[in-house]
Structure 1
């Protein structure tokens, strides 16, 4: 069976799949996942080890596909975090992995025997999948915002994801919503992700409840049970998130706001107060639909498979 390799690289783990390549992805047909696997990135061993882990994982998938289907993968797609230059195929910078200016596309293509490789930003790649086969399907303009360890965004316009002039479009997590507030890893203070990411909510709830092991999921459960301390922590995060989202919708005028990541798993505990908080803040802006992401943590891997399939349909080579 003709197939492609899909890799989604996170801060601590990698998700991968062999994906069927015979159906045109542009028509919105979900990719057929033939095989799935996960591995740690091994970031504690340094950036060079992470790169080698990615290349080795891809090579294993190539061998597996060859053994199962009689031919190696026809292309590969990989999604990585940080600043990504999709045009040159360079992983420019990732704070949580420690690398700079890694020619990821060229390295992967060489390790995979010269097949075409597409490189994408993890959130923009997830947004591609949500736009084509997930919660953004049918929306001409959408903003996809996953709330995880950090916060980023993917801007969907006319069936494509905007990467920007320098590979950093959509970094909504670094909009300053509380000037002079908490210090962010980017060097600013009061960034959205310091207040409304799953990591931030977990940290704030751990401090409020006195349990250093508590996380965002525990905060959501406490909110649902009526805990006043949890409600205070949660509402603070929701208000900050609403401020950031209203800035985004003022600039982009999307039809749909798609909220994903770990915090979105709280369901109505998040979406009910968030919709109300955004509604209170809009004035002249048209209120978009605010919906949960449909693809969960598979979005990045599915998007990487779509990128690889697009290479075949457009005959692009690295």
Structure 2
């Protein structure tokens, strides 16, 4: 049995996987944030692990948001948790034993989608871009995540150089939460529904999101040339309403270059926990 726990978002999500990848158990608990020293969050992680049947020293992967240095098991910057240079690996080791592995939530999600999800069987370079409360990317090269000290893939932090949103970061415009906020609706699914129903204000916001997201993805594609680009997060729930215009935008921005196969994520909000379990199993 392998256990993976995802600390991102408002909920700590845990999965226990069988050797064949089947889900044996799932457990969730509220994330106690902000938590500057990390101790309350790590205590909840330990509770979730025990609820899933973890035994001290057994493999368990813990996926963290923000900038994560996996080599030192440190949360360099996890803004929604209030973390800066928190030695999470040390805290986890005290409660879970030496089998605890720290990883990044988006890179872990990419591993899950590449091995058992939307990009299963794809060779070479695969990219995973969840578009939820923020925008981030993970790049796998032959199944291995590109890390660069934890800073790789932060496309949501790109500052827009021109246009109506000049000076804002990509995720301040094109994340699921920003799209909903700009449309004055509760969530991205509500915006997609309004777009489908022909609401002109929602359609304008949606087109702006596709344009800005397309610009960031075009830069990623031009540099690493993924064969498959998996789009996840709340915005991807819109399916082809998002992916069709995004494909067209990428084709327009990348003349003469290969446009990757765009597919929706398969594992939903459990991708990071699944990937964390897989990575913990690899390391054991």
TM-score normalized with structure 1 length: 0.83
Alpha-carbon distance, 1:227 to partner: 1.1
Structure 2 residue aligned with 1:85? 69
Structure 2 residue aligned with 1:254? 226
Deviation per residue, 1:81-106 (Å, 9 max, x gap): 11111011111111111112222112
Question: SS of the residue aligned with 2:5?
Answer: strand
Q: Which runs of 5+ in 1 are unaligned?
A: 24-28, 184-188, 207-212, 313-318
Q: Say which of 137, 143, 165 aligns to 1:159.
A: 143
Q: Say which of 208, 229, 233 aligns to 1:236.
A: 208
Partners in 2 of 1:275 and 1:43 — Cα distance?
37
1:64–1:280 CA distance, 2 compared to 1 (3 A): closer
1:63–1:249 CA distance, 2 compared to 1 (3 A): closer
Structure 2 residue aligned with 1:7? 5
Q: Say which of 152, 155, 159 aligns to 1:169.
A: 152
The structure whose Rg is larger is 1
Partners in 2 of 1:261 and 1:280 — Cα distance?
24
| 2:26 counterpart of 1:36 | yes
Alpha-carbon RMSD: 2.0
Structure 2 residue aligned with 1:143? 127
How many residues align? The count is: 283
Partners in 1 of 2:177 and 2:51 — Cα distance?
37
Structure 2 residue aligned with 1:287? 259
Deviation per residue, 1:290-314 (Å, 9 max, x gap): 11111111101101111111122xx
Q: Which runs of 5+ in 2 are unaligned?
A: none
Question: SS of the residue aligned with 2:178?
Answer: helix
| 2:268 counterpart of 1:296 | yes
| 2:43 counterpart of 1:55 | yes
Structure 1 residue aligned with 2:281? 309
Question: SS of the residue aligned with 1:47?
Answer: coil
Structure 2 residue aligned with 1:18? 16
Q: Is the 8 A contact 2:57 2:99 kept in 1?
A: no
Alpha-carbon distance, 1:73 to partner: 6.3
Q: Is the 8 A contact 2:65 2:106 kept in 1?
A: yes
1:59–1:109 CA distance, 2 compared to 1 (3 A): farther
Q: Is the 8 A contact 1:223 1:234 kept in 2?
A: yes
Partners in 1 of 2:131 and 2:85 — Cα distance?
26
Structure 2 residue aligned with 1:316? none
